[in-house]
Structure 1
Amino acid sequence: MNARTATLVDVRETDEWEEGHLLAATLVPLSEIGEKTNDSAWIADLKRRVPTDRPVYTHCKSGGRCVMAADPLRELGYDVRPMKEGYVELLDSGFERED
């Protein structure tokens, strides 16, 4: 995945992120997506951090939460593509970890 053509979004929660995350990822916890999709300030901040002009690949620990995040993000104008691979599988496939 080329950073100029797609964005990687981690929808795990902050405590999981702080234990380690993919170097290329941006954190957008599923709990925030569920709570704040009607908050215009949150949406504006999200659109600054995660551009709407490229595909967004979401990932989580095992694949469930990234699917749940897809529809609300699509409603905000994102081309969302949930990844089947979970966090550990992505590390095993060669994504770099940042602590």
Structure 2
Amino acid sequence: MYPEMTAAELDIQLKKGKKLNLVDVREPDEWQEGHIKEARSIPLSELQERINELQQGEQDIVLICRSGGRSGKACDFLHNQGYKVVNVTGGMLQWPGEVVYGQ
């Protein structure tokens, strides 16, 4: 299994200045409606084709979606491929921090 963190724990880490490999797996319309500034958008529907964009050094890949379900599926898939992943439980619905809009 892989580790999980809450959206609040993620917010605290980002506010402390921790550099994270944060990937938002929601679809583009959801991303434009509001996302975390430090995140990158790689929709779950494109994950297999864009898997080479995920790894950034030795950092774990932190995955977030709307509620934690799709990011959990992404974590399952990536964990089985040998990636170190962390699922953000509660997703953007529980995100207490700032949100940016658009591309």
> TM > 0.5 between the two?
yes
Q: Distance in 1 between matches of 2:57 and 2:42?
A: 14
Higher helix share: 1
Tell me the TM-score normalized by structure 2: 0.70
CA distance in 1, matches of 2:51, 2:64: 20
Name the counterpart of 2:31: 17
**CA 1:65/1:43 → structure 2, altered by over 3 Å: closer, same or farther?**
closer
Structure 1 residues not aligned, in runs of 5+: none
> What is the TM-score with the length of structure 1 in the denominator?
0.73
Higher relative contact order (CA 8 A, sep 6+): 2
* RMSD across aligned positions (CA): 1.8
Unaligned runs of 5+ in 2: 1-12
State the identity %: 38
Partners of 2:73 and 2:57 in 1: CA distance: 18
Report the number of matched residues: 85
- Write out per-residue CA displacement over residues 64-95 of structure 1, whole angstroms, 9 at most, x where no aligned residue: 000000122234442111111220311x2x2x
Distance 1:89 1:25 in 2: 16
Change (3 A) 1:52 1:78: farther
